[in-house]
Amino acid sequence: MIRGIGLFSKFLTIIREQIAPHLEVKYIETSLYSVEIVFFILGSFWVYKEYQPKYNPTAGDKYCEKTVYLFAFVYLTVLYAIAVAILSGFMCFLICIIFLKATDDDEPIDAESQTENVGNTENRPQATV
């Protein structure tokens, strides 16, 4: 069911232009994406809550099919690792922008004033020996 909701929401974004005059699509898309996010969070909770489950079918409540559980665990872990990497990169980018902005001179340098001062030795500091 979850994949059906995801596929329907992706399909809806593709055909948005054809059905937009007849139906308010943005509300449907918003609700579908909200359901996807809720299922992602709940799925993460269910998978990580049962970490190291019993793979023996006679174990009772804690039994999980090994292939399905490990796939879900690795899939979620990779998604979270990618999200952390993207957020870390974005934060480093923002810190670099803030640092570069703070180190910029307050006065802009214009080319005309530099060319006038090239031959002018009056404004240059004198070297002391």
**pLDDT score at 76:** 92
User: Do residues 56 and 99 share a domain?
Assistant: yes
Q: Number of folded domains in the chain?
A: 2
Alpha helices (H) in 50-65, listed in sequence order? none
pLDDT in tens, 14-30: 666 666 666 666 777 78
CA quadruple 72, 75, 80, 83: dihedral positive or negative? Answer: negative
In a domain, 77, yes or no: yes
pLDDT in tens, 90-128: 999 999 998 888 887 555 555 565 555 555 555 555 656
User: Do residues 17 and 2 share a domain?
Assistant: yes
User: Do residues 96 and 81 share a domain?
Assistant: yes
In this prediction, residue 55 has a pLDDT band, given cuts at 50, 70 and 90, of: confident
Domain enclosing residue 93, as ranges: 50-104
In a domain, 124, yes or no: no
User: How far is the C-alpha of 112 from the C-alpha of 59, rounded, in Å?
Assistant: 82
Return the closest-CA partner of residue 44 out of 78, 10, 4.
Answer: 78
User: Do residues 57 and 87 share a domain?
Assistant: yes
- Rounded mean pLDDT of the chain? 77
User: Do residues 67 and 89 share a domain?
Assistant: yes
In a domain, 113, yes or no: no
Q: For the chain, how many helices (H) and strands (E)?
A: 5, 0
User: Do residues 5 and 40 share a domain?
Assistant: yes
Both ends of the chain: CA-CA distance in Å?
84
In a domain, 120, yes or no: no
In a domain, 112, yes or no: no
User: How far is the C-alpha of 32 from the C-alpha of 38, rounded, in Å?
Assistant: 10
